[in-house]
Structure 1
Amino acid sequence: MTLRQYEYALAVAEQGSVTAAAELLHVAQPSVSQQIRGLERELGVQLFARTPTGLVPTVVGRAFLREAEVAVNAARRARATARAGADELVGELLVAAQLGLGTRQLPSALAALRRRFPRLEVTVFEEPNPAELERLGRRGVLDLVLVAAPCDEGAAEAHHLGDEEFVVVLGEGHRLLAADLVGLRELEGEPWVRFDRDSALDGVLRDVLRDHGLAPTTAARVSQAATAVRWAAHGLGVTLVPASAVPDGYEHLARPVFPVVSQPVVAAVRRGAGPAETALLELLRRETWHSAAAFAPAPGGPARSRVAPPSTTNPAPVV
């Protein structure tokens, strides 16, 4: 078996056909078919089944493809490490962030990384569900993840980058915009723009409101922090998001809350990290992370106490 066969099989699984996989890989279709047939002969199993909608992995095929993906990612990392020099870094870097974390800091750090290493290919995505981040991490897919909860030290190295404070976003003309700080209990009776039920952001909101005796009325649920801010700005309801997740142009509608709601920002880096992960980690360390100190109340304002980040029912991601 070869890595090329692994890559061809993964492409067929992704595209659902040999023709589309060949186009993706920029190779001739017979070459892909030949490699897949040779792989199945060597393994003695059928990896794909033909259906009316295209080729789909069999049960055995799905199990094989999981391991093939790990092997291909490991090979890419090995190539990147071997070819990394003082002035050049090439290869692929896979980064994920828990929804709402590092919304401003991660793009800034990645832009600096790309300026330094223009041949480095970076794939980034946000994921609202910590359980899905854990699943991807256990498959060995991710190189670096931004999470709010500590990670499994046996599988990843955790680096505390800072603390992210949450702010409440209000609609234009809302009565509480006259205040510099908004007490959580002042939000009694407000409708809320919330997030998907299995997301970490909705877990924070749910636990904070419960801890302060508030029973929220849900006006809407969205899947992105920026969408929640925009909908709140139009008066659909109020929302609670990390400070850095407030898009440009909406800062005037955001207010810090008291008691303070904040959570740590942890970079979980896979063990045996290569030069790309190390470089990105150092750039993230240089970023400014929003903390309670950044939203200090005016003299004579109400006392504020830090609220520990609420726990969630999902385990911490493992990378």
Structure 2
Amino acid sequence: MNLRQLQYFVTVVEEGSFTRAAQRLYVAQPSLSKQLAALEKELGGPLLERLPRGVRLTPSGRAFLPDARATVLSAERARRSARMTHDLTGGELEIATLFSIAIGLLPDSIRALRTRHPGILVSLREYVHREQLEDDVRSGVSDIAIGPKPRTWDGPVTSLGWEEFVVLLPEGDPLLRTTGRVELSDLADRRWVLPDPSAGMAPLVVAACRDAGFVPQPAVRSAQVEALARFAACGLGPTLLPDNVIPGDLRHLVRRLRRPLARELAAYTRMTWSPVASAFLDELWDPRAAARPANAFVPG
């Protein structure tokens, strides 16, 4: 068994056909088929069922795929790392993160990294749920993950401080007349602009409202963070969002909560920080500037 055979197998599965896989790999289809046949012979049985219009994983193939894919991804990262120079004049950083963090915390940090090291290419993999983010990073995806601090993790974890959620109110809302913090329970009778149930923020918002003594009733739902802010601003109802995702033109509609929803963010990886990941950590949030908010509600 060799890396080329694993790469061929994973590509055939991803493309769903030998023809498309051969085109993507720039190899002759007979050569691709020969390598897969040799792999199956070594493993003692078929990994793929050849169908008239594609392929289908056999039970052995389904069991083999996760480790094969992780090995191929690890090898690709190893090649990238080997090409990186110690002075960071080149290389690539793949970041796995949540959608809300991608538009909140990361832009300034990526800009700072690129300013200091303009030869580094940055790419993002964005997720809706923290569980999928953590599972994929464990399986070999990305060089560094930025998200809520994992409950359990075997590799390095660096805290990035706390992210506070704020309430964004509609234009002209009576609560905007006060400049102080507000009680979440004061909004119990409103119709809310809520994250779609498929979004990772949805259970956090519901938990915060339950902690305040009510269940939020939706006026509109969306999985897009900026859409939630815009819907709230135009008068559809209040919404709860991380403070760092609020667009600049809507800051006047924000009020902080006396018992704010908060979550701790962290950077984490599997084994050790790559040179580029270490450089990126230097540009990320300073946790001393993002202490846990007083009287915060932190969902379990």
Give the TM-score normalised by structure 1.
Answer: 0.81
User: Aligned partner of 1:176: which letter?
Assistant: L
Q: Structure 1 residue aligned with 2:299, among 310, 314, 319?
A: 310
Q: Is the 1:3–1:72 contact (alpha carbons within 8 Å) kept by the matching residues of 2?
A: yes
Hey, what does 1:183 align to over in structure 2? 183
1:126 & 1:61 partners in 2: Cα distance? 27
Match of 1:158? 157
8 Å CA contact 2:86, 2:275 repeated in 1:
no
Task: Read off the aligned partner of 1:243 and give its amino acid letter.
Answer: D
Equivalence for 1:127: 127
Counterpart of 1:270, as a letter, is R
User: Which aligned pairs between 1:122-271 and structure 2 lie closer than 5 A?
Assistant: 122-153=122-153, 155-180=154-179, 181-197=181-197, 199-271=199-271
Structure 2 residues not aligned, in runs of 5+: none
After superposition, the Cα gap between the structure-2 partners of 1:163 and 1:74, relative to the gap in structure 1 and judged at 3 Å, is same
Displacement after TM superposition at 1:119 (Å)? 5.9
Does the aligned pair in 2 maintain the 1:101–1:265 contact within 8 Å?
Answer: no
Aligned length: 299
Deviation (angstroms), 1:120: 4.8
SS of residue matched to 2:249: coil
What is the CA-CA distance between 1:83 and the residue it aligns to? 2.8
Decide whether aligned partners of structure 1 residues 261 and 112 sit closer, same or farther in structure 2, where only a CA change above 3 A counts: same
Contact 2:148-2:266 at 8 Å conserved across structures? yes
| Whole-angstrom CA distance in 2 between matches of 1:111 and 1:75 | 28
Deviation per residue, 1:30-69 (Å, 9 max, x gap):
4433332332233232222245663232221122121111
Range that drifts further, 247-256 or 57-66? 247-256
Tell me if structure 1 keeps the 8 A contact 2:17–2:53. Answer: no
Partners of 1:24 and 1:251 lie apart in 2 by: 47
Closer, same or farther: CA 122–292 of 1 in aligned 2, 3 Å: same
Distance 2:247 2:290 in 1: 14
- Closer, same or farther in 2 for the Cα pair 1:69/1:28, shift >3 Å? same
Using a 3 Å threshold, how does the CA distance of structure 1 residues 105 and 287 change in structure 2: closer, same or farther? Answer: farther
Deviant stretches of 4+, over 6 Å: none
2:276 & 2:218 partners in 1: Cα distance?
Answer: 42
SS of residue in 2 equivalent to 1:11: helix
Give, in whole Å, the separation in 2 of the partners of 1:291 and 1:226.
25
CA contact (8 A) 2:130 2:148 kept: no
The equivalent residue for 1:314 is none
Identical aligned residues as a percent: 36
Q: Deviations over 1:99-158 (max 9, x none)?
A: 4235333133234444555665544233222222232133232432222234424x1222
Conservation of the 8 A alpha-carbon contact between 2:137 and 2:269: no
CA offsets per residue over residues 133-188 of structure 1, 9 Å max, x none?
Answer: 232133232432222234424x1222111221111122233232333343212212
CA distance in 2, matches of 1:91, 1:4: 23
User: Separation in 1 of the partners of 2:211 and 2:229?
Assistant: 23
**In 1: Cα distance, 2:241 partner to 2:117 partner:** 33
Equivalent residue, structure 2, for 1:300: none
**What is the alpha-carbon distance in structure 1 between the residues aligned to residue 90 and residue 48 of structure 2?**
33
In structure 2, distance between residues paired with 1:67 and 1:249: 47
* 1:61-93 deviations in Å (ceiling 9; x for gaps): 122121111112222232233333233466654
Distance 1:157 1:134 in 2: 13
Shift of the 162–183 alpha-carbon distance from structure 1 to 2, 3 Å rule, reads same
Structure 2 length as normaliser, TM-score?
0.86
Please say which of residues 244-253 and 183-192 is displaced more in the overlay.
244-253
Q: Secondary structure, in 3 states, of the residue corresponding to 1:257?
A: coil
Partner amino acid, structure 1, of 2:128: P
Judged with a 3 Å threshold, the aligned counterparts in structure 2 of structure 1 residues 240 and 169 are, in CA distance, closer, same or farther, namely same
Check if 1:40 corresponds to 2:40.
Answer: yes
